[in-house]
Structure formats: structure tokens, C-alpha cells
Amino acid sequence: KGSGSEILAVYIARSDGLTAASPKELAVQRTLVEDLGGTFHQVVGEDVTAALLAFARGVNATQIVLGVSRRRAWQYVFGPGIGATVARESGPDLDVHLVTHEEAGKGRGLAQPPRTARLGRDRIIWGWLVGMVGPVLLALLLRQAAPELGLANDMLLFLSLTVAAALLGGLLPALASAAFGSLLINYYFTQPVHKVLISNPRHILALVIFVGVAVSVASVVDLAARRTHQAARLRAESEILSHLAGSVLRGENSLESLLESVRETFGMESVALLERAGDVSPWTCVGSAGARPHVGRPEEADVDMPIGDHMALALTGRVLPAEDRRVLGAFAAQAAVVVDRGRLQSEAGQARALAEGNRIRTALLAAVSHDLRTPLAGIKAAVSSLRSDDVEWSDEDRAELLAAIEAGADRLDHLVGNLLDMSRLQTDTVTPLVREIDLDEVVPLAIEGMTAPSEGVVLDIPEDLPMVAADKGLLERAVANVIENALKYSPAGRPVLVAASTAADQVQLRVVDRGPGVPDDAKERIFEPFQRLGDAPRGAGVGLGLAVARGFTESLGGTLTAEDTPGGGLTMVLALRRVPERPGAVPALPTATTGRSPGEPAPVAARPPVTYET
């Protein structure tokens, strides 16, 4: 621990639960490890050595520390101790340290039985039945039905039972079947019969060969069962890891779905990803899956998989075998990646928002430095002139100065209004009150409310145009901004055409100018805040008109796009959803306005067709 490494203590319990340590001893060990800054883990394994090495490789350990075996000298007849086996099978990637203690060599019971393949309780029971009951039934059958079959054939039949016992129950039932079968053959089928004696030396050799072949076949069959079990397990692991890798490549970022996959894969009741800010900080749940409430600490879970220093995957439901921790480690690493990716995306979004805010503030300062100061300078000059006692102004001069003051104030009012509207759009505080309205109501009012001169605007709105669903005040502002933008760029003597038509389930309002137009690669940029392309005159606005118009249009469920005008120029297409025709008059409802649109007249049942030039 002093070198910065992590301590992981592991207790390996057999799946049958017959050799489990007392919970009190395990609690003492857990407390000791946690006091040293480590973590305590419990896994299930048929073989202690294999389970320990699988756990160590699953957590990428570099060193294993073991106590010297407690076996007495005579107990090594059953095989080497755990420490020696771990040291022999650890390989070059693990360093094994054996620590002596006062209980070394004093004994603690017999050695563990040899490991068996994981065949399940039912198969092991059937293996013992075939290995022990089968030879008895076979002996009785041969004595009654085929007493003259011959010793060689009798041995082959008993050998088939030994092979069947090995296939069903593994090595131990097969060895027992071979020994028991040899006794039955000796008792019933070799001279003298009904005695455990053999008079013919050739029969002795035959029995020895039978036992040797039976043991060899049982060993081979048991080894094949082991390899089959390992191959099936590796195949299952590869499929799980392949699915996990596919989810990574597909960019799946749902932590809940990943934790649900962990729960289903390992058959758990609940899975939780826990995290804490520091070594002494409380644990918090980042995500969980399962109907059972998740634990509050990794130590309370049946299985905990550390992820770095301050994150852990906690599973409840059962204790996992040691070999399952490698796949669980892959899931844990992916869960950490998903959490980190989500946080990085959130931070990137915040960074983009800050960058956009900085860009808008910079553009605003650049625009305000001229576009707001120019009308203020004109207003101040006109007021100073009127207050001057050195000049005697005529009535015509006074009227001209007052008109200049009014024009500058209107210009300031328009600029400040666009700024306020843009701030409302960026903070999502625009709440339209939609009602059914006619475009021939809105467009004339929008033109009347413009600060720019409205001469040269041609309206073409059909009499039978369907009504649209929109907020009247917001639509007026959007239409006014689009027409004002067209007037800025239209050459003298070329009117701006405002025409309405229907297209499928939409009503389209087209604002057509004959100005210089906009390149294709800039048609979307002109709708961004503080954008003024081409040779726009200074003082013509801060570049918010089209941005506000598109924002208001989209808040009404419509679209605002730019197209080329045939023959030169730019056409703005404002599309809104049409209202289906139905019998009966629709009563007018109150509408929400921006607080800046001019007063609207009382609604009328019908209006004459509008096709005129202002």
C-alpha cells in the first residue's frame, strides 16, 4: 500500500457451502482489510487455486500474497498445497509471495477432493446411480439371460457402464463404477464363482486391464467434459463481450440499459453504479437497475467490482464465481466509460453554450458601438439645436428637428425591441397564444408598424386564402422584420412583392426582392444573430431581424427559409400550417403580443380581397 498499489482481499467459498468460514471470521477479515485501505471480495469457486488466479487476472493484479499451508507432512500425499500450486500456475504476469505464520504445518483437516467439472447436482446423482446400481443390474441380467456370453463380452458391457457414469457424473462416479464392476466380475464371472478369488492367471490380467482401461476412459471422458464446459463458457463470454463491444462501437450511451444487461447476464436482483468524491466521502448512486432497492455501499452488496479509486459496481442477488469477474470487469469498465462520456458531452454542451454566448456578446458590443450610438447622436444634436439661444429657428426648422428626434427614437425603439426579442428566444420564454387568423389581417398591420418607409411594397393575398393557426402579435413581428430586410437590399424603383398561396397543408407567405441575393452557402447563416452579409448600410440594424423572425416563426410551428428569386434577388418563404375548413364561424380569442405591436382593430367576419400597392 505504501507504494501506491491497491489491496484486494478475496475469500473463495465452494459452491456447495460445506466448507464455508464463519460469518464472524469473515467480518473480522473485512474490517481489517478496510482499515488498511483495501477492499474485501467474496467469490465462488470449485477449485481454490483456479478461482484465485482467475480473480487476480480479472482485476489485473500484479502480486499475490498467500500464507504458508497448514498441511501436515503426510497430507501432501494427496497433492501439493494451494501456495505451491498457485506459484506453479501463476505464470510470468503474477508474482506470488508466501508468508509464514505460527500455524504453518499444524494441520487443518484433510485435503480437498480433486476438482470436478461443473455438471450440476442432477447429473452427478445420475452418474452415481449408473456407476453403482447399473453394474448390479447388469450382473443380474447377465447371470439370468446370457450366462455363456463370455468374460471378454461381460467386461465390455461393464466398461460401457463406466463410460456412461463418466459422461454423466464425472471422474469420481466412473472410478467407483470401475472398482465395483471389477468386484462383480470377479465374484460372478471368474472361476471360482461366488468367491473373491481368481484361479486363472489370465483372468487376473484381464481384470487388471479392465480396471486400467476403465480408469483411463473415465479420465479421458472427464477431461473432455471439462474442456467442453470451458469451451461453452468461453463461447458465452465471447458472445457477451462481442455484444458489449458492439454497443461501444454503436455509441450507446444509456447507463440504465447497460446496468440492466449486467443484471440479466449474471442473474442478479439489482445492480447499482456507486461513486464518491473522495476516500472518506459518502457513496452516491449514479445509476441502478432491478426491482430490488440497491445498496448504499459496495461492502453491503453480494458482489462489488471496484472501478478506479472512487467508483464501484455493486450487485445483489448471489455470489459470483471467480471466473465470472473477468466479464463483470468489462461491463464495469464500460459503465465508467458511459458515465465519463455523458459528463464530457455535458461539459462540451456547456462549453459550446458559453462560446456562443461570448460570440453573441462580442457581436452585440460591436453592433451597439455604432448602431445604437448613431441615432442617439442624432437625437442629442437635434435637442441641443432646439435648446440653443444663439439661433432663431423657424417653424419649419423646428418641425424638421422634431421629426429627426422622432425618427431616431423610433430607430432606437426598433433596435432595442429586436434585442429583447432575441433574448426571449434564447431563454425559451416565448409562449405563443395560437388562434385562427387571416394573413390579410396580419400583413397590413405589420407594414404599418415598420420603422422603415413602406413605399414600394406590393401585396398579393388571394380572397380565398385559408386561415392559419398562429399568434397574431408574434406573426406581425416576424413578417415586419422579413419585409424590412427586403426593403434594405431592394434597389430603387424595384418594389418588394409580398404574395401568399397554399401548398398542401400549409399557407406560404413569400417576400420577394430584386436585390443582390445571397450565395447558397450563406442562406442559413443569414438567420444567425448579428449577421449582416453583403454591402448592408451602416446603421441598418444590428443583424437580428431575420434571427428574430425565424425564432418567432418556429415557435408557431412554422418555417422560414431563403430561396433565390428567378432573375436575381432573394425570396423569403414563411410557411405556417393551415386551418382545416369547417362550417360555422370561429369566435375570436384574445392573443398574446410582444408588447410592441401596434393596436389591432376589432376582428371582422370578412375582409375584402387585398391586392394593392402602398
The DSSP symbol for 300 reads G
3-class DSSP assignment, residue 275: strand
- Cα–Cα distance measured from residue 518 to residue 484, given in angstroms and rounded to the nearest whole number: 16
Q: Are strands 468-470 and 311-316 parallel, antiparallel or unpaired?
A: unpaired
CA distances from 344 to 168, 244, 267, 337, 602 (A): 54, 21, 31, 10, 54
User: What end-to-end distance do the CA atoms of the chain give, in Å?
Assistant: 87
Q: What is the pLDDT of residue 199?
A: 63
Q: Which residue has the cell 414600394?
A: 456
CATH (domain of 61): 3.40.50.620
What amino acid is encoded at 463 in this protein?
E
Rounded distance between C-alpha atoms, residue 159 and residue 162, angstroms: 5
Same domain for 160 and 79, yes or no, is no
pLDDT at 563: 93
Q: What three-state secondary structure class fits 41?
A: strand
C-alpha cell at 347: 461539459
> Dihedral angle at the C-alpha atoms of 392, 397, 402, 408, nearest 10 degrees?
-120
Q: What is the 3-state secondary structure (H, E, C) of 380-426?
A: HHHHHHHHCCCCCCCHHHHHHHHHHHHHHHHHHHHHHHHHHHHHHHH
Looking at the fold, whether 551 and 438 belong to one and the same domain comes out as yes
| Spatial separation of the C-alpha atoms in residues 371 and 166, rounded to whole Å | 94
- Helix or strand run (H / E) with residue 99: strand 95-99
pLDDT digits (tens, 9 = 90+) for 309-334: 888 899 988 888 777 887 888 888 88
Distance CA 467, CA 95 (A): 82
pLDDT of residue 570: 92
Residue 303: give its domain's CATH number: 3.30.450.40
Same domain, 359 and 455: no
326 and 468, same domain (yes or no): no
* H or E segment to which residue 236 belongs: helix 201-249
Same domain, 371 and 407: yes
pLDDT, position 600: 39
Residue 237 domain flag: no
Query: Do 34 and 159 belong to one domain?
Result: no
| Residue 160 amino acid letter | S
Local structure of residue 237 (DSSP, 8 states): H
Structure-block grid coordinates of residue 233: 463458457
Is residue 314 within 8 Å of 335, Cβ to Cβ? no
- The full DSSP string for 121-170 is HHHHHHHHHHHHHHHHHHHHHHHHH-TTS-HHHHHHHHHHHHHHHHHHH-
134 and 148 share one domain: yes
Q: Rounded to whole angstroms, how far apart are CA atoms 88 and 80?
A: 10
- CATH code at position 576: 3.30.565.10
Question: Which three-class secondary structure state does DSSP give residue 228?
Answer: helix
Query: Among 253, 258, 340, 266, which Cα is nearest to 43's?
Result: 266
Enter the C-alpha cell of residue 334: 464500460
Query: Which residues, 6 or more positions from 162, have their beta carbon under 8 angstroms from its beta carbon?
Result: 131, 174, 177, 178, 181, 214, 217, 218
What is the model's pLDDT at position 596? 39
Instruction: Report yes or no: 457 and 606 within 8 Å, Cβ to Cβ.
Output: no
What's the domain count of the chain? 5
- The kind and range of the H/E element at 172 are helix 171-189
Residue 603 lies in a domain: no
Residue 597 resides in a domain: no
Strands 559-564 and 457-461: unpaired
Q: Of the residues 99, 129, 164, which one is the last residue of a structural domain? A: 99
511 closest CA partner among 441, 557, 459, 546: 459
> pTM above the 0.75 mark?
no
445 with 471, same domain: the answer is: yes
* Cβ atoms of residues 301 and 319 within 8 Å: no
pLDDT for res 86: 85
Listed residues 346, 377, 396: the one ending a domain: 346
Which H, E and C letters describe 348-380, residue by residue?
Answer: HHHHHHHHHHHHHHHHHHHHHHHHCHHHHHHHH
In a domain, 262, yes or no: yes
Residue 2 lies in a domain: no
Query: By C-alpha distance, which of 337, 277, 279, 271 is closest to 305?
Result: 271
Continuous segment of H or E residues that includes residue 219: helix 201-249
Q: Which amino acid is at 612?
A: Y
Spatial distance between the Cα atoms of 491 and 485, rounded to a whole number of angstroms? 12
> Which residue blocks in 460-519 are alpha helix, DSSP H?
472-489
Decide which of 300, 331, 346 is a domain's last residue: 346
Backbone angles phi, psi at 600, to 5 degrees: -100, 145
Q: What is the CATH number of the domain that holds 382?
A: 1.10.287.130
247: its cell numbers: 454497443
**Domain limits for position 372:** 352-422
Assign 501 to helix, strand or coil: strand
Show the low-confidence residues of the chain (pLDDT under 70): 1-4, 14-24, 44, 72-79, 103-120, 196-200, 202-203, 233, 236, 239, 243, 246-253, 357, 359-371, 422-427, 429, 451-454, 531-542, 582-614
Give domain status of residue 397, yes or no. Answer: yes
- Residue 236 inside a domain? The answer is no
Helices (H) and strands (E) in the chain, counts: 14, 16
Q: Give CA–CA dist 382/162, Å, rounded.
A: 117
Alpha carbon distance 483, 599 (integer Å): 19
Burial bucket for residue 472 (CB in 10 Å: 0-12, 13-18, 19+): buried
Residue 599 lies inside a defined structural domain of this protein: no
Q: How many CB atoms lie within 10 A of CB 414?
A: 21
Same domain (yes/no): 437, 576 = yes
* pLDDT at site 189: 78
Instruction: Please tell me whether residues 507 and 550 are part of one structural domain.
Output: yes
Mark whether 398 and 489 lie in a shared domain. Answer: no
354, three cell numbers: 458559453
Q: Are residues 549 and 409 in the same domain?
A: no
